[in-house]
């Protein structure tokens, strides 16, 4: 049988879009070995007209002005405003999208970025054979650009996102709650914590706190780590600085009072999450989903205003963690969790209740169905 071709459109404007696309590709090949060819395209970088082709490079600078970013996010949200935006860019954006689609033939197009949905559907036109699937990666604060009723499927991570889609008049029958797609190594059942800690060389009887800033080491990691070190809490600290070499160097040079491990970019995060007792991190949706799968209570210490506002709401509403935007509030939360292990266990149980470790594989099954493969 001829392999079905799946094209995933994403952009490196934030790490979550690429990670979601990679997780979906991995799940497709795990669920249906040898049945698909898959391809990822960064549509901004590779096809958008200037100056939009610079967006992946400009994004890290843009988010350094968070209040301006927040204002732009909410100013452009809403069905009418979204139509104005997409209509303004339609003439030349559609040309670029048609070029992209002609150079990358496929049976199913999957998007993990809100900016490509309407443009891609315009490029396909009305009489189309290729199926179009939108995978929404924001759990609550889902911008209107995520939603276009011409899509064949809209797959969302939470019931909150589905409600938002229905509010934007998306046909209910095309909107499905599947969870947040993350790499398969974050989806394994909980392991024996004692064995994991032995493997990692971690102490068995200490509360172990993981402090993570994503692949790029974002958020107030240094200030938070220093506050925990100076708090007198009987905890051990595992810090992941990611690719932020400057941060790692600063952390390596500190004379730590508590037991502290410092890592750069690592592939061991799934084991870290399953072996730790608490996670401190920025409010990225992928990291939140990974922590939920591990049953790991979450302390959110930073967010990108706009699309990550709802991530904080989600964590609080589901009682899987807390919002602690200052190092002092982080220490207060940890103090409470250390002195009241029952509360920490209750939050961990909530994490396991909310988790959707099968999300990427469920998305793969929806895509297979759109490609005409019996599931």
Phi and psi angles of residue 319, each rounded to the nearest 5 degrees, phi first: 55, 45
| Residue range 213-241, pLDDT digits in tens | 866 656 789 999 999 999 999 999 999 99
Least confident of 76-90, 147-161, 232-246, 276-290: 76-90
Same domain, 178 and 230: no
Q: What is the CATH number of the domain that holds 61?
A: 3.40.50.2000
pLDDT tier, 296 (very low <50, low <70, confident <90, very high otherwise): very high
| Residue range 307-328, pLDDT digits in tens | 899 999 999 999 999 999 999 9
Least confident of 91-95, 161-165, 178-182, 365-369: 91-95
Task: Identify whether 51 is preceded by a cis peptide bond (ω within 30 of 0).
Answer: yes
Same domain, 141 and 162: yes
Residue 243 included in any domain: yes
Residue 52 included in any domain: yes
Average pLDDT score over residue span 103-108? 95
Pure H helices in 267-340: 269-275, 285-294, 309-317, 327-339
Least confident of 141-145, 188-192, 339-343: 188-192
Residue 299 included in any domain: yes
Same domain, 124 and 218: no
Structural domain including 327 reads 188-354
Give the model's pLDDT for residue 60.
66
Same domain, 276 and 363: no
pLDDT tier, 196 (very low <50, low <70, confident <90, very high otherwise): very high
Give the model's pLDDT for residue 79.
75
pLDDT tier, 65 (very low <50, low <70, confident <90, very high otherwise): low
Same domain, 224 and 253: yes
Residue 256 included in any domain: yes
Same domain, 143 and 210: no
Average pLDDT score over residue span 118-124? 87
Q: At what angle do helices 341-354 and 285-294 cross, to 10 degrees?
A: 110
Average pLDDT score over residue span 266-285? 95
Helix, strand, coil share (%) of the chain residues, nearest 5: 50, 15, 35
Give the model's pLDDT for residue 374.
77
- Of the two residues 82 and 290, the one the predictor is more confident about is 290
pLDDT tier, 7 (very low <50, low <70, confident <90, very high otherwise): very high
Residue 375 included in any domain: no
Same domain, 266 and 350: yes
Least confident of 31-35, 71-75, 273-277, 344-348: 71-75
Task: Measure CA 314 to chain center.
Answer: 13
Per-residue buried b or exposed e for 40-69, using 16+ beta carbons within 10 Å of the residue's own CB: bbbbbbebbeeebbebbeebeeebeeeeeb
Give the model's pLDDT for residue 58.
61
Residue 343 included in any domain: yes
Same domain, 179 and 64: yes
Give the model's pLDDT for residue 53.
67
Per-residue buried b or exposed e for 286-310, using 16+ beta carbons within 10 Å of the residue's own CB: bbbbbbbbbbbbbbbbbbbbbbbbb
Neighbours of 369 (CB within 10 A): 16
Residue 210 included in any domain: yes
* Cα–Cα dist 279/186, whole Å: 15
Pure H helices in the chain: 15-31, 43-47, 55-62, 66-76, 79-103, 117-124, 159-167, 193-200, 221-229, 245-253, 269-275, 285-294, 309-317, 327-339, 341-354, 359-370
pLDDT tier, 78 (very low <50, low <70, confident <90, very high otherwise): confident
Same domain, 195 and 250: yes
Q: How many domains does the chain contain in total?
A: 2
Same domain, 179 and 202: no
Contact, 147 vs 165, CB < 8 A?
yes
Residue 138 included in any domain: yes
Same domain, 270 and 151: no
- Of the two residues 219 and 96, the one the predictor is more confident about is 96
Same domain, 218 and 196: yes
- Of the two residues 115 and 191, the one the predictor is more confident about is 115
Phi and psi angles of residue 3, each rounded to the nearest 5 degrees, phi first: -70, 140
Average pLDDT score over residue span 122-145? 89
* Cα–Cα dist 143/150, whole Å: 17
């Amino acid at each position: 049988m001829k392999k079905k071709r799946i094209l995933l459109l994403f952009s490196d404007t934030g790490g979550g879009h690429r990670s979601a696309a990679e997780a979906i590709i991995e799940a497709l090949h795990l669920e249906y070995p040898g049945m698909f060819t898959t391809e990822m395209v960064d549509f901004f970088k590779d096809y958008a007209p200037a100056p939009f082709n610079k967006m992946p490079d400009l994004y890290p600078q843009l988010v350094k002005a968070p209040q301006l970013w927040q204002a732009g996010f909410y100013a452009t949200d809403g069905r009418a405003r979204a139509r104005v935006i997409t209509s303004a860019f339609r003439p030349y954006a559609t040309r670029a999208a048609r070029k992209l689609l002609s150079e990358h033939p496929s049976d199913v197009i999957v998007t993990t970025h809100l900016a490509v949905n309407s443009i891609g559907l315009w490029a396909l036109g009305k009489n189309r054979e290729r199926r179009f699937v939108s995978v929404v990666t924001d759990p609550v604060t889902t911008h209107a650009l995520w939603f276009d009723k011409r899509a064949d499927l809209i797959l969302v991570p939470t019931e909150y996102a589905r409600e938002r889609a229905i509010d934007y008049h998306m046909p209910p029958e095309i909107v499905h709650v599947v969870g947040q797609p993350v790499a398969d190594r974050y989806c394994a059942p909980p392991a024996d914590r004692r064995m994991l800690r032995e493997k990692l060389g971690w102490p068995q009887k200490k509360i172990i706190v993981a402090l993570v800033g994503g692949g790029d080491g974002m958020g107030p990691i240094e200030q938070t780590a220093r506050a925990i070190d100076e708090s007198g809490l009987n905890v051990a600290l595992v810090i992941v600085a990611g690719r932020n070499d400057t941060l790692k160097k600063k952390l390596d040079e500190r004379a730590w009072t508590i037991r502290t491990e410092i890592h750069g970019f690592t592939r061991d995060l799934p084991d870290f999450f399953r072996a730790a007792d608490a996670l401190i991190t920025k409010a990225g949706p992928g990291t939140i989903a990974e922590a939920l799968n591990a049953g790991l209570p979450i302390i959110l210490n930073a967010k990108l205003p706009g699309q990550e506002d709802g991530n904080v709401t989600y964590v609080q509403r589901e009682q899987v963690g807390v919002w602690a935007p200052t190092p002092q509030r982080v220490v207060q939360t940890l103090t409470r969790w250390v002195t009241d292990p029952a509360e920490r266990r209750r939050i961990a149980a909530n994490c396991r209740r909310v988790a959707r470790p099968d999300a990427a594989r469920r998305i793969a099954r929806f895509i297979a169905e759109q490609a005409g493969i019996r599931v």
